[in-house]
Structure 1
Amino acid sequence: MASPVKLYVYDLSNGIARQMSLQLTGRQIDGIWHTSVVVFGKEIFYGQGISITNPGRSHHGRPLQIIDMGETALDEQTFTEYLHEIRQHYTADKYHLLDFNCNSFTNDCVGFLTGGSIPAWIKDLPTDFLSTPFGAALRPTIDAMYRRPTPGQIPAPSPRDPQSASSLLQSVANRAAGSSSTNGYLPTPAATPLQATASVASPLQLCTNPHTLNSLFRTHRAVTVFFTSQTCPPCKMVEPVFERLAEDKASEGVAFAKVDMGVGLGGEVARAWNVRVTPTFLFFLDGNKVHELKGVDAPELRTQVDLLIYQAFPPHPHTSLNLSSIRSISLDPILFPQVPAFQTAQSKLDGFIDASSSMDAKQKAKCKQTLASPVIPFLQSRFATKINPNIPQSRVHAVCSEWNKVTATLVDALPTAELFPIVDMWRLAILDEAVANWCATGSASGSSPIHMLLDKAVSAIASSDTTAVPRNFLLTTLRMLANGFSHVTLARTLIDGRSAATPNKTASTRQNLTSVLVATLLHTDAPVRTAAASVAFNVAAHCQKPLIDAQRNGRRGVSVKIDDAEGDWEVEMVSAVVEAIGRETQSEDVVHRLTASLAFILHLSPYYEVQLKPLLDVLQARVILLAKWKGGNGGLGEQGLSKKDVRRLVEEVARNLCP
């Protein structure tokens, strides 16, 4: 008789992740998920070893969600035997909040019981978190938590770690490792755990059923599998070598899995791949077996792992080139921090409000009053004086909320030409981290002032020739967008967010941003082109930073996911930048910023060989760049570029990155 299998889902953060994640990580994370399996009238989960309790009676309280995982044809005794077999792997000292946790256990159990898998939004949470700069920065802290004898005791936060994040981690760790209200634990062996499986830093996966291994194939291009058994002496000899490889090569993109043929469905996994002896090592690329190694041969094992990494992640063709100028470019964004004359801007905006026929007297009074206080005093206190008061974040958010409502009213009521003072105020304000975080949070719901003003620019450009769009509005909008990259959280919303003007949320902010860039890079006004080139640089640097960091740190296998839309966007950006460089005959700064933007896009792009290289040939990018370098017809004067660093960069990009 089939028995139902349920997945109980809990939020270890108690709702804090939903409230704080966007501000801290730049990505909305609705919960830090703990799961348990409910089958045969019992709730089974992993924390302090494998724990069993009555459904809904664990220390986690009531589940936030119950998911039907189907039915199992196995009987309770078979499942109990399976739990006893895997207990030596799921011990308290091997628990890790990100790499080997309750969700690893439930996914293993669900795979054994039903052949299915827990939902991707639960499994992929650690990957999503670590892909953010905040997550990557906290990884060492989390690792340190689980290298200590007692999980959940974290080191004191460094000055760079927000206290709120430290508290959240402490709370989550304590709840994840807690052990109250349980009816019993499966006994765990006292043997000292192997280092690779005990450390959070090593992604050595324990596969006790076919589904767990198949999940690895879906999430990793390169997988090395070690088939072993507890009664195999040669396995004990080569096991430390395999674990060392797992520790040393993890950052290069390969996953390491161990299958004990005597545990769970390990024998079934072995039969599926025709493995009959131990130790046997199988090497997989994109889910296909590419090599098999039997016996104890440590040098050959290392060689095959290196070969697999090379096959999965061949070095980018540009990594072997001498690109000293490109690699010395700072990844810091170009910003516009100039403080305007606030009283002049306020007076000008008040005049526009008074003259408006689209607002009633009450709306006009509200807008003028909000600008007079609290907006202008707030901006003056943050930017116009040497003393920077420590304004509570709640107060900053209150000011931004009031100001945002006024901005929405003005965007609807005033002509585009009269919006530049309010844009310029936001341009300065988002340099403040608290304001930037507030704007990033608002971006999730499409209510950010940055998005509203960007949408206004897109509409203005779409409805007329770019030169007909008021110059002051374009200039201040571009400078505001450039400043949007001063903080990672806001920068992410500009690249990955959604448009507030599109009801069905199908138009991405990046598309709107690109539309404005393509139009303004060719503007007749030099300051507008300079601002546009600055935004192009910030966009390129932000998008390429993960690849550049990985290459500089010697990591392999860290790359963007190949995506047609991403490749098409790079094609559009390269086309616009090359054309803008070709047409620029006045400003060496514009040429410098555009060439740096082009260098960032081309340097480590996964689309270079297939899409960008042929495009550069068609566009004659090398000819265009060398014309700027040499001078004369098509250049900036007869002598060409005057600054040595600009000349070196332009020549390096032309001769090395352009066919």
Structure 2
Amino acid sequence: MAESGAPVELYVYDLSHGLARQLSPQLVGRLVEGIWHTSVVVYGTEWYYGQGVLRAKPGSTAHGAPLQRLAMGHTKVSVEELVSFVTRLAEAKYTADRYRLLDHNCNHFSAEVVQYLTGGEIPAYIRDLPREILATDFGRALQPLLEGAQPPSRLPSDRLTHVHSPVEPALATSSLEAAVLPDPHPHRRLIPTPALNGLGHLPILFPQPEGARRALARLRALPEAQRLDPVVLADDQLDYVAPLSDPTSWRAALDHLYDTLKPTDRFPVLDLVRYALTCPGLCGAAEGETGFRWTKKLLSDATAVATDSEAVPRPLLITALRLACNIWACDNLVDHLSQPPTVEGAGTPPLLDVLTGLMVHAILCSEVTVRQAGAALAFNLGAWVGTGRRAAYERARGATRLSDTSPLPSEWCDHRHEDWLIEAVSAITEALRKEPASPTAFRLLAALAHLLYLAPAGTLELADVLGLGEWLADHQTEWPSEPRGAALACEVVALLAARPT
């Protein structure tokens, strides 16, 4: 005899898309079949928890097709009673900010809903997975990170305020096919990223005055400097005992000296500008359109020398890289990063392209110190892109309404910088694969993590084709100088597997 009531199913997804089965023996010392995410399907609707409680038509979420559909029995609980129960859970217990990867996740929500509907339990292999992982050495090592893992999004906790209590009439139907808030990018839905979030977005800067003092001494000794106003090269310009009231005069004097020097001898001027960008007294030299064009010219010239000469002086290249990093200390220069050249500067590459050319040359250089500085610039670029992309994503998601079925936004300016993303991801991936385990390698990995988070599917596919995921899987435990390396490598592997459709 057929059971009465509505059928209840448990949809089971593998968030690792097979990677857990492939990599778990070497990482945790035992076979882990999958990283399980579950949802409950009843009355033609799929209910699940991650960034709050959400609902969707079965099989239409960002998780794709379920790996398994397990029959949990039948329920006589009415639609109205179910919605009331789930709403109470969403408001009191399963809010976005209470998500915990180990002990308060999607599977705990599914277990409560199944128990309420049928009195049954979800399978033990799903329920007990966190405990089994933590019983291994690898799991214990990652436990502090896992315990701090937050849900993959920071959306306001109102997903189920779309299922208002008292129950909305539109939801009190047997099909519950009301419009659903579109699923966000799978990176936000599926991948907790505590290691990536812990990196922060603050740029790596080089404000040290010692190099600038040595640069002043070098410049004062040059015959070309004798025609300059002595105040321009005075030591107190570094200490700001008597800062210049007009930084543009300082810029004009240095620019004149710069033009008289051979390209390979210009690094003392670059070092002074490098320091000036971090100091209130002199950073005004880079303000305005004229200051921007001047700074870009210095970097463009240095990049040209670095890429065209086989014997580029190492001090010139390192100083140019540090100057490039300090661009993030000057809002005027950062504002120009993604802008096309002005009419006056037409025919010259954008500042972003200049920095990228310098970065690519440096991270693939044979000199260790050059690669170190290049990796710092790579991190700054990656963090800047990642921060802008997240901000654009949050704004777009915040504007989304329940009735909006539009596709996910084209985050940051990926659609305008697709070629740039390809170049940056390709170069940094190649450099990382060649770099021994070191702080430089960690900076490159961090840059990639920022560039790949919320990235378009094409960028993620490119990184996968380049073998980044496979390489990280083989080397993710080889970070002796950086304890965060293994966790960050794991997260990047997961990001590559969770591509938007």
TM-score interval w.r.t. the shorter chain? 0.5 to 0.7
Contact 2:274 2:323 survives alignment (8 Å): yes
Equivalence map 1:127-206=2 (5 Å): none
Counterpart Cα distance in 1 of 2:282 and 2:337? 15
Counterpart Cα distance in 2 of 1:519 and 1:417? 17
How many equivalent residue pairs? 320
Contact 1:370 1:406 survives alignment (8 Å): no
Counterpart Cα distance in 2 of 1:563 and 1:330? 21
In structure 1, the partner of 2:473 is: 626
In structure 2, the partner of 1:568 is: 419
Counterpart Cα distance in 1 of 2:180 and 2:381? 33
1:495-539 CA deviation, whole Å, 9 max, x = no partner? 436389x85345211111111111111112222111111111111
In structure 1, the partner of 2:266 is: 419
The residue type equivalent to 1:372 in the other structure is: L
Q: Secondary structure at the match of 2:271?
A: helix
Contact 2:220 2:226 survives alignment (8 Å): no
Question: Quick check: which has more Rg, 1 or 2?
Answer: 1
Equivalence map 1:513-524=2 (5 Å): 513-524=355-366
Query: 1:299–1:544: structure 2 CA closer, same or farther, 3 Å change rule?
Result: farther
In structure 2, the partner of 1:646 is: 485
- Aligned pair 1:540/2:382, yes or no? yes
Contact 2:393 2:411 survives alignment (8 Å): no
Contact 1:499 1:509 survives alignment (8 Å): no
Counterpart Cα distance in 1 of 2:356 and 2:213? 33
Q: Secondary structure at the match of 1:520?
A: helix
The residue type equivalent to 1:379 in the other structure is: L
5+ unaligned residues in a row in structure 1: which ranges?
1-296, 357-363, 383-388, 632-639
Displacement of 1:599 after TM fit? 0.7
Normalised by the size of structure 1, how large is the TM-score? 0.44
Contact 1:455 1:499 survives alignment (8 Å): no
Normalised by the size of structure 2, how large is the TM-score? 0.57
In structure 2, the partner of 1:378 is: 237
Query: 1:341–1:324: structure 2 CA closer, same or farther, 3 Å change rule?
Result: closer
In structure 2, the partner of 1:265 is: none
Query: 1:623–1:366: structure 2 CA closer, same or farther, 3 Å change rule?
Result: same
Displacement of 1:471 after TM fit? 0.6
5+ unaligned residues in a row in structure 2: which ranges?
1-166, 401-408
Q: Secondary structure at the match of 2:417?
A: helix
Counterpart Cα distance in 2 of 1:372 and 1:436? 16
Equivalence map 1:257-656=2 (5 Å): 300=170, 307=179, 310=182, 314-320=183-189, 321-340=191-210, 343-351=213-221, 353-354=222-223, 364-367=225-228, 369-373=230-234, 376-381=235-240, 395-396=244-245, 398=246, 400-433=247-280, 435-436=282-283, 438-441=285-288, 444-445=289-290, 448-465=293-310, 468-496=311-339, 498=341, 503-549=345-391, 555=398, 560=411, 564-585=415-436, 588-605=438-455, 607=456, 609=457, 611-631=458-478, 640-656=479-495
Runs of 4+ in 1 over 3 A off after TM superposition: 297-301, 303-309, 341-344, 433-438, 445-449, 497-500, 549-565
Counterpart Cα distance in 2 of 1:424 and 1:518? 21
Query: 1:458–1:654: structure 2 CA closer, same or farther, 3 Å change rule?
Result: same
Contact 1:334 1:482 survives alignment (8 Å): yes
Query: 1:450–1:300: structure 2 CA closer, same or farther, 3 Å change rule?
Result: farther
1:538-565 CA deviation, whole Å, 9 max, x = no partner? 1121122133346679736675366544
Q: Secondary structure at the match of 2:426?
A: helix
1:35-65 CA deviation, whole Å, 9 max, x = no partner? xxxxxxxxxxxxxxxxxxxxxxxxxxxxxxx
Counterpart Cα distance in 2 of 1:342 and 1:515? 25
The residue type equivalent to 1:647 in the other structure is: A
The residue type equivalent to 1:593 in the other structure is: R
Q: Which has the higher contact order (CA 8 A, sep 6+)?
A: 2
Displacement of 1:624 after TM fit? 2.3
In structure 2, the partner of 1:113 is: none
Q: How high is the sequence identity, in percent, across the aligned residues?
A: 26
Displacement of 1:575 after TM fit? 0.3
Q: Secondary structure at the match of 1:472?
A: helix
Counterpart Cα distance in 2 of 1:422 and 1:327? 37
Counterpart Cα distance in 2 of 1:534 and 1:305? 50
